């Protein structure tokens, strides 16, 4: 209570608040009439019987707190339980706060209607007091609401992560696990997926970028020091029938990327490919390394693991080149491999066509590989993938 109130005013205020508590039924009806226009409360998201019960209890406790001079413990505990309940019911926070703040309007309107003109000065001095009690009630409800939403989000995240872990685990290929994972993640188990892999700073950048995609997901899985992000593109069509820009769901972060993975069943194998691509990514790569752009690097590493190092084999053969000759020859071969055209190669390197032919002939002589023979060209493409 404000300390400027004398004993008479204090006694009169107690009487006013006591009478307010006796009109709870009227206050509830007034509240229900107003809350019906608040979004979410005007729909079937909240049962009106529940709203009535809540209004009855909250207004009773508010009147009790006004008499006590502060938001009492019982009111704040009720606010905490109300916030948790409305969070679980899915009420938007703005609708919840709007509904709670109606309590002030309802209480203050009632006080103005039932107090005489002689109480005008007393009421004016109590505006801040009444608002403060209602505001403490609203603040406690909101804080409890937000805390419950965080818990709910964490529970949902844990629930999804549990199935993601199973999906990438030993039993991830079973029909049961795939079906339950698809249900938990709310995705089509037979639809196409994209999956990206990265480590360290690139992983953090990838996670931040992909989180802004308008897709089903994205979902994260951590294996050792490799972070996997996967998602299911949402196929939308523009109003005029044009397909949306696919680039809006393709990361620009340097990572390993596999697109168009056919269903959850194929996701684990695609993850291994994405991780392998991520390991082969270099600082010279301006964006993600895909199967299309990195298949030669993958092939080179697989062959090395099998004991066939095509790059080393080629380097040994070219070791006999004269000083400066290897650099010019290698540059010519790399450019020629991109198009297979002598004319385009000559134009790009600013050389005469005959110069290009001579260098290619010299390469065949030294290495034993003829670039017009598909099998030989494939070996060079894998040996020099960049």
DSSP-assigned letters across all residues of 275-296: HHHHHH--TT-SS-EEHHHHHH
3-state SS assignment for residue 90: coil
Structure tokens at 12: 């009169």
The per-residue pLDDT for range 154-197, each reduced to its tens digit, is: 777 788 888 899 889 887 788 888 998 999 899 999 999 999 99
List the end-to-end C-alpha distance of the chain, in Å, as a whole number. 79
Q: pLDDT, tens digit, for every residue of 339-379?
A: 889 999 999 999 999 999 999 999 999 999 999 899 999 99
Q: Which CATH superfamily is domain 307-383 in?
A: PucR C-terminal helix-turn-helix domain (1.10.10.2840)
- 206-263 pLDDT per residue, tens: 999 998 898 988 999 998 889 999 999 886 554 455 554 555 788 999 999 999 999 9
**Quick one: angle between helices 93-114 and 7-21, nearest 10?**
120
Contacts of 360 (CB under 8 A, 6+ apart): 332, 333, 336, 342, 371
69 within 8 A of 123, measured Cβ to Cβ:
no
- pLDDT surpasses 50 at 2: no
Q: Return the pLDDT at 38.
A: 84
Q: Return the CATH number of the domain spanning residue range 3-153.
A: 1.10.490.70
Backbone angles phi, psi at 168, to 5 degrees: -90, 0
pLDDT recorded at residue 173: 80
Residue 206 confidence (pLDDT):
93
Print the SS3 string covering 12-42: HHHHHHHHHHCCHHHHHHHHHHHHCCCCCCC
Residue 249's nearest CA partner among 221, 229, 277 is 229
Q: Same topology for domains 3-153 and 307-383, yes or no? A: no
Task: Return d(Cα 51, Cα 75) in angstroms, integer.
Answer: 17
Indicate the DSSP class of residue 322.
Answer: P
Whether the bond between 218 and the residue before it is cis, its omega within 30 degrees of 0, is yes
- Give kind and range of the element (H or E) at residue 218: strand 215-223
Q: Looking at residue 190, what is its pLDDT?
A: 93
Cβ-proximal residues to 65 (8 Å cutoff; 6+ apart), any chain: 71, 72, 75, 133, 137
The answer to whether 200 and 225 have CB atoms below 8 angstroms apart is: yes
| Dihedrals phi, psi of 49, to nearest 5 degrees | -65, -35
- What pLDDT is recorded for position 191? 93
Pick the closest to residue 102 from 50, 23, 1, 27 (CA basis): 27
Cα dihedral value 206, 212, 215, 216, nearest 10: 80
How many angstroms separate the CA atoms of 51 and 47, rounded? 6
Domain boundaries, the chain: 3-153, 192-235+249-292, 307-383
Three-state DSSP string of 222-256: EECCEEEEEEEECCCCCCCCCCCCHHHHCCCCCCE
Q: Indicate the average pLDDT of the chain.
A: 87
pLDDT tens, position by position, 132-143: 888 899 899 999
Residues in Cβ contact with 259 at an 8 Å cutoff, skipping those fewer than 6 apart: 192, 194, 250, 290
Q: How many residues does the chain have?
A: 386
| Separation between Cα atoms, residue 175 and residue 108, nearest integer Å | 62
Q: Which tokens in the block code for residue 248? A: 């809006």
pLDDT at 6: 56
If you search the block for the tokens 């549990």, which residue do you land on? 162
Output the pTM of the full model. Answer: 0.61
Task: Please give the Cα distance from 16 to 115 (Å, whole number).
Answer: 8
What is the per-residue pLDDT for 1? 40
């Amino acid at each position: 209570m404000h300390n400027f109130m004398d004993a008479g005013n204090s006694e009169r205020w107690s009487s006013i608040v006591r009478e307010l508590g006796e009109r709870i039924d009227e206050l509830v009806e007034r509240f229900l009439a107003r809350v019906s226009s608040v979004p979410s409360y005007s729909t079937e998201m909240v049962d009106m019987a529940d709203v009535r019960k809540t209004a009855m209890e909250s207004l009773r406790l508010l009147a009790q707190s006004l008499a006590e001079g502060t938001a009492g413990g019982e009111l704040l505990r009720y606010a905490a339980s109300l916030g948790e309940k409305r969070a679980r019911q899915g009420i938007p926070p703005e609708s919840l706060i709007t509904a709670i703040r109606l309590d002030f309007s309802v209480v203050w309107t009632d006080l103005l209607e039932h107090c005489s003109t002689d109480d005008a000065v007393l009421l004016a001095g109590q505006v801040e007091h009444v608002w403060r009690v209602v505001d403490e009630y609203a603040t406690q409800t909101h804080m409890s609401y937000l805390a419950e939403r965080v818990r709910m989000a964490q529970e949902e995240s844990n629930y999804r992560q549990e199935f993601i872990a199973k999906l990438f685990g030993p039993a991830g290929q079973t029909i049961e696990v795939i079906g339950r994972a698809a249900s938990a993640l709310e995705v089509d188990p037979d639809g196409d997926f994209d999956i990206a892999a990265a480590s360290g700073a690139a992983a953090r950048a990838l996670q931040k970028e992909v989180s802004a995609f308008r897709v089903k997901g994205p979902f994260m899985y951590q294996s050792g020091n490799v972070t996997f992000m996967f998602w299911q593109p949402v196929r939308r069509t523009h109003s005029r029938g044009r397909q949306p820009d696919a680039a809006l769901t393709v990361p620009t972060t340097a990572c390993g990327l596999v697109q168009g993975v056919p269903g959850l069943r194929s996701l684990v194998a695609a993850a291994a490919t994405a991780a392998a691509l991520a390991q082969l990514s270099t600082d010279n790569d301006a964006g993600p390394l895909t199967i299309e752009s990195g298949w030669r690097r993958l092939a080179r590493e697989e062959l090395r693991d099998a004991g066939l190092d095509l790059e080393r084999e080629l380097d040994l053969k070219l070791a006999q080149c004269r000083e400066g000759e290897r650099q010019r020859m290698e540059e010519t071969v790399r450019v020629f491999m991109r198009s297979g055209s002598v004319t385009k190669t000559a134009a790009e390197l600013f050389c005469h066509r005959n110069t290009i032919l001579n260098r290619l002939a010299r390469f065949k002589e030294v290495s034993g590989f003829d670039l017009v023979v598909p099998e030989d060209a494939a070996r060079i493409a894998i040996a020099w993938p960049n």
